[in-house]
Amino acid sequence: MNPGLVATQLKLQDGETVQVKGKILPDAKEFVVNLGQDCEHLVLHFNPRFDSKGDVNTIVCNSKQKGDWQEEQRDTNFPFERDGKVQLSFTLLSSEIKVSLAEGHEFSFPNRLGLKTIEYIAVEGDFKVKALKFL
């Protein structure tokens, strides 16, 4: 997967949001946004797949604890388009991560690790980051 943006020591607290703006590449197969403590402790692995790993137009979410992947969740409500602009928002709450994908399309993923602070974000794959904003 294409390496992208990695940021550490973020200190995103309960109730705070990180917003990722960018552009999906024209021949995109997938992209990933990882949020957590570090690359081995991810509270959210957010992976929209256009056509990758046997999935078509599916959002795959997961978490990772001590390097071990947990149980995947899949969503086929897929608001992304190749060569399209995207604004994603991730809000940390004590029990979940709220994800806003597009106007009116939101979902939650459980905070399985019980993280109180997000210190790490990585964006990789077929996606060009234009802006990272903290709210």
Residue type, 117: T
φ, ψ (nearest 5 deg) of residue 100 = -110, 120
Return the half-sphere exposure (C-beta side, CA atoms, 13 A cut-off) of residue 125.
22
Q: In the structure encoding, which two tokens stand for residue 113, read together?
A: 């690790």
For position 103, what pLDDT does the model report?
72
Reported as a single tens digit per residue, the pLDDT across 5-51 is 899 999 999 999 999 999 999 999 999 999 999 999 999 999 999 99
Sheet holding 17-24, edge to edge: 105-110, 96-102, 85-92, 17-24, 127-134
Are the C-beta atoms of residues 82 and 63 closer than 8 Å to each other? Answer: no
pLDDT at 3: 65
Query: 2 versus 46: which is more confidently predicted?
Result: 46
* pLDDT tens column, 82-133: 999 999 999 999 999 999 987 778 999 999 999 999 999 999 999 999 999 9
Please answer whether residues 85 and 102 qualify as being in contact, where contact means their C-beta atoms are separated by less than 8 angstroms. no
pLDDT in tens, 77-94: 999 999 999 999 999 999
